[in-house]
């Protein structure tokens, strides 16, 4: 056993029977399981959060395939590395099969040129691509590569999955079996829970606990809840402020405010702040929601949201969290109307796609006296000269008369 390598590395599965989790794609009746077993794999893209088993699955494939297997990391590899793999694959002396599997970790970090270099060889079958990414490939990977690959989403491992792997690590020779460890199932489950589905974090935490705990007089290493807690960081947050979880979380935040669920809005706000999201970005989202989703049902929401944004700018974290929470709750609890939002969208659609006619002459500006002779401003009725400061006159162009953009719904405040 090479103890210089981390426990998470030593415990990587070597075959499908050792692989834990992802039953939705690796159950025995699922297509990915069957194609790996039959060694009939076509190009695939695997995406999911860190520690969910993407690299481990690639290792399983490398151990079960008859094809030559190459692995590169997109953070350090370039076009030359890709070309070297292709040349070796096409060299009959080195590779009589004329086909190989190329695993590219963090494929989203490849630029367009690097991805384009792969394309013709993936298309003609010379290269079977396995791409792994923590980002949504539909945003980050060349559409042509996506169209020629099967995309599989890997989920965070469940607490029970992580617990099984931790239990396995205590029983395997290349794991921690030789350390004579005493640890309760409750403690293992606590480590699994705090890892939030990242098995690498769980195994690293357990290994640190074991290596930093003295052997007792009876020859055992006792790992208690307290030792486990000290060896683990705070609950691992599945959040990347620059990645796919950023978009998922902010979408959930906005939809929770729109759906009038204050608790959910505060929850997703907390996730974002805990993950390092820019507070001003969050404040701007609240301002937008105050207008788009609350609108005329409570015009004061925009005032509150805008004041909150200014306060966040002036004060900063950590106190800004309180201001953001108040504004998010206010928007969430406000009655909702998207009448103004629908109105401007419909008006823009008409302006962009229809002949909307000319502005009526009587409401055009006549800053120079001579322009009045050309009918600019002639016949304009000044509303303040009339009762209630209102007067009926034409404002829309002739061809647009009768068009309704702003249609009040039941929540709109009557402003007459």
At 373-385, the pLDDT tens digits run 677 888 889 899 8
Which of the pair, 229 or 340, is modelled with greater confidence?
Answer: 340
Report the alpha-carbon distance of residue 11 to residue 166 in Å, rounded: 10
**262-272 average pLDDT score:** 94
* CB 86, CB 92: distance < 8 Å: no
CATH of the domain at 71: 3.40.50.300
Inside any domain, residue 416: no
Q: Taking the CB of residue 245, how many other CB atoms lie within 10 A of it? A: 20
**58-69 average pLDDT score:** 89
**What is the domain extent for residue 165?**
159-231
- Residues 30-41: tens digit of each pLDDT: 888 888 988 888
Q: Taking the CB of residue 89, how many other CB atoms lie within 10 A of it? A: 22
Question: What is the total residue count of the chain?
Answer: 416
Q: Which two tokens stand for residue 362?
A: 């009587």
Structural domains of the chain, count: 4
pLDDT at 265 over 60: yes
Helix ranges (H only) for 294-367 are 300-315, 320-333, 339-353
Inside any domain, residue 118: yes
Task: Tell me: do 327 and 345 sit in the same domain.
Answer: no
CATH of the domain at 313: 1.20.272.10
Task: Tell me: do 141 and 164 sit in the same domain.
Answer: no
Inside any domain, residue 265: yes
Inside any domain, residue 11: no
Task: Tell me: do 106 and 130 sit in the same domain.
Answer: yes
* CB 330, CB 260: distance < 8 Å: no
* Helix (H/G/I), strand (E/B), else coil: 321: helix
- Tell me what pLDDT residue 298 has: 94
Which of the pair, 238 or 316, is modelled with greater confidence?
Answer: 316
Nearest Cα neighbor of 234 from 188, 193, 206 is 193
Residue 404's pLDDT band (boundaries 50, 70, 90)? Answer: very high
pLDDT at 3 over 80: no
Task: Tell me: do 320 and 281 sit in the same domain.
Answer: yes
Inside any domain, residue 17: no
- Residues with Cβ within 8 Å of 225's Cβ and at least 6 positions away in sequence, in order, are 184, 186, 187, 190
- 100-109, 154-163, 230-239, 305-314, range with the lowest pLDDT: 230-239
The helix-helix angle for 279-289 and 320-333 (nearest 10°) equals 20
pLDDT at 334 over 90: yes
Task: Tell me: do 376 and 343 sit in the same domain.
Answer: yes
For the chain, the average pLDDT equals 87
- Tell me what pLDDT residue 141 has: 86
Query: Where is the domain boundary, 97, 127, 153?
Result: 153
Inside any domain, residue 239: no
- 17-26, 58-67, 359-368, range with the lowest pLDDT: 359-368
Task: Tell me: do 29 and 95 sit in the same domain.
Answer: yes
pLDDT at 156 over 70: yes
For residue 135, CA distances in Å to 20, 46, 112 come to 22, 10, 16
Q: Taking the CB of residue 380, how many other CB atoms lie within 10 A of it? A: 16
Model-level pTM? 0.62
- Tell me what pLDDT residue 180 has: 87
**202-218 average pLDDT score:** 89
- Residues with Cβ within 8 Å of 343's Cβ and at least 6 positions away in sequence, in order, are 405, 406, 407
- Tell me what pLDDT residue 196 has: 81
* CB 41, CB 35: distance < 8 Å: yes
- Tell me what pLDDT residue 323 has: 96
Inside any domain, residue 388: yes
**41-54 average pLDDT score:** 87
Query: Where is the domain boundary, 153, 180, 205?
Result: 153
Task: Tell me: do 80 and 149 sit in the same domain.
Answer: yes
CATH of the domain at 391: 1.10.3710.10
Task: Tell me: do 293 and 269 sit in the same domain.
Answer: yes
CATH of the domain at 198: 1.10.8.60
- Tell me what pLDDT residue 238 has: 55
Residue % of the chain over a pLDDT of 70: 94
Q: Which 8-state DSSP code applies to residue 364? A: S
**63-78 average pLDDT score:** 88
Task: Tell me: do 261 and 373 sit in the same domain.
Answer: no
Inside any domain, residue 319: yes
Nearest Cα neighbor of 295 from 415, 391, 136 is 415
Task: Tell me: do 345 and 381 sit in the same domain.
Answer: yes
Q: What are phi and psi of 327, to 5 degrees?
A: -65, -40
Q: What are phi and psi of 120, to 5 degrees?
A: -65, -30
**283-299 average pLDDT score:** 95
- Residues with Cβ within 8 Å of 186's Cβ and at least 6 positions away in sequence, in order, are 225
Which of the pair, 77 or 283, is modelled with greater confidence?
Answer: 283
- Tell me what pLDDT residue 1 has: 53
- Tell me what pLDDT residue 369 has: 67
Task: Tell me: do 256 and 323 sit in the same domain.
Answer: yes
Which of the pair, 80 or 196, is modelled with greater confidence?
Answer: 80
Task: Tell me: do 344 and 302 sit in the same domain.
Answer: no
Report the alpha-carbon distance of residue 239 to residue 247 in Å, rounded: 10
- Tell me what pLDDT residue 405 has: 92
Query: Where is the domain boundary, 310, 333, 356?
Result: 333
- Tell me what pLDDT residue 92 has: 83
């Amino acid at each position: 056993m090479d103890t210089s390598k981390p426990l998470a590395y030593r415990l990587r599965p070597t075959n499908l029977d050792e692989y834990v989790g992802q039953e939705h794609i690796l159950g025995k009746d699922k297509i990915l399981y069957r194609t790996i077993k039959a060694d009939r794999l076509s190009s695939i893209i695997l995406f999911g959060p860190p520690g969910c088993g993407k690299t481990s699955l690639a290792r399983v494939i490398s151990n079960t395939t008859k094809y030559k297997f190459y692995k590169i990391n997109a953070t350090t590899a370039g076009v030359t590395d890709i070309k070297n793999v292709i040349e070796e694959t096409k060299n009959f002396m080195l590779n009589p099969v004329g086909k190989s599997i190329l695993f590219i970790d963090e494929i989203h970090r490849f630029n367009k040129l690097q991805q384009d270099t792969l394309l013709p060889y993936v298309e003609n079958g010379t290269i079977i691509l396995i791409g792994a990414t923590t980002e949504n490939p539909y945003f980050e990977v060349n559409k042509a590569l996506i169209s020629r690959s099967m995309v599989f989403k890997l989920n965070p491992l469940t607490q029970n999955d992580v617990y099984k792997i931790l239990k396995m690590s205590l029983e395997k020779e290349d794991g921690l079996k030789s350390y004579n460890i005493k640890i309760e199932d409750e403690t293992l489950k606590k480590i699994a829970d705090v890892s939030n589905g990242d098995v690498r974090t769980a195994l690293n935490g357990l290994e640190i606990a074991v290596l930093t705990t003295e052997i007792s007089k009876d020859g055992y290493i006792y790992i208690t809840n307290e030792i486990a807690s000290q060896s683990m960081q705070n609950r691992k947050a599945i959040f990347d402020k620059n990645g796919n979880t950023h978009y998922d979380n902010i979408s959930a935040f906005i939809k929770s405010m729109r759906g009038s669920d204050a608790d959910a809005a505060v929850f997703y706000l907390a996730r974002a702040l805990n993950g390092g999201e820019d507070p001003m970005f969050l404040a701007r989202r609240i301002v937008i929601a105050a207008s788009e989703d609350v609108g005329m049902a409570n015009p004061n929401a925009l005032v509150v949201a805008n004041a909150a944004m200014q306060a966040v700018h002036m004060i900063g974290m950590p106190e800004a969290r309180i201001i953001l929470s108040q504004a998010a709750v206010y928007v969430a609890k406000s009655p909702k109307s998207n009448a103004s939002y629908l109105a401007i969208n419909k008006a823009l659609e008409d302006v962009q796609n229809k002949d909307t006619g000319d502005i009526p002459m009587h409401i055009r500006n006549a800053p120079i006296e001579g322009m009045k002779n050309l009918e600019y401003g002639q016949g304009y009725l000044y509303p303040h000269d009339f009762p209630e400061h209102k007067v009926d006159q034409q404002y829309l162009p002739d061809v647009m008369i009768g068009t309704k953009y702003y249609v009040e719904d039941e929540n709109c405040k009557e402003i007459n």
